[in-house]
């Protein structure tokens, strides 16, 4: 398995951290924009997409700030990768800045970045931002 490349993307959303908190920290919120369904047991999140499932371990979260997960497949492969969604209010615009940090293999980097563009677009539609 080749090394994965870290990438970061930033988005401005016209919403509140409280709204984003419910969309990012709860199974019902995540299933509205990130995956078809989500189950959480202890620190393991199971995400369902089109009949397949991916599991991730919760590495950390703080209300109105961030959630950080590691895909179990990467963990089993010994990779030090993660998915972090961090959000904060921009003091100038009062919009919420969402920072996505993730990892992808080099040949999948562009596809992964496009995935996040589309996924954040879904989030914006759901919350009306």
Q: What is the DSSP string of 59-117?
A: EEEETTTEEEEEEHHHHHTT----EEEEEEE-TTT-PEEEEEEEEEEGGGHHHHHHHHH
Write down the pLDDT at residue 46: 97
Note down the domain range covering 57. Answer: 4-127
Instruction: Specify the number of domains making up the chain.
Output: 1
> How far, in Å, CA of 126 to CA of 75, rounded?
31
Q: Tens-digit pLDDT profile for the chain (129 aa)?
A: 568 999 999 999 988 888 899 999 999 999 999 999 999 999 999 999 998 999 999 999 999 899 999 999 999 999 999 999 999 988 888 889 999 999 999 999 999 999 999 999 999 999 987
Write down the pLDDT at residue 1: 53
CATH of the domain at 79: 3.30.530.20
CA 16 to chain centre: 17
pTM: 0.90
Write down the pLDDT at residue 39: 95
Interacting residues of 99 by C-beta distance below 8 A, sequence separation 6+: 8, 9, 10, 84, 85, 86, 87
Write down the pLDDT at residue 101: 98
Write down the pLDDT at residue 50: 92
> How far, in Å, CA of 43 to CA of 41, rounded?
6
């Amino acid at each position: 398995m080749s090394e994965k490349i870290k990438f970061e993307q930033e988005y401005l959303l016209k919403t509140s951290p409280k709204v984003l908190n419910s969309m990012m920290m709860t199974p019902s919120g995540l299933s509205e924009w990130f995956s078809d369904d989500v189950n959480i047991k202890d620190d393991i999140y199971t995400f369902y997409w089109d009949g397949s499932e991916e599991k991730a371990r919760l590495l950390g979260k703080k209300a109105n700030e961030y959630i950080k997960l590691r895909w179990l497949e990467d963990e089993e492969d010994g990779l030090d990768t993660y998915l972090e969604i961090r959000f904060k209010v921009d003091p100038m615009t009062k919009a919420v800045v969402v920072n996505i940090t993730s990892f992808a293999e080099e040949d999948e980097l562009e596809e992964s970045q496009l995935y996040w563009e589309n996924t954040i677009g879904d989030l914006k539609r759901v919350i009306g931002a």
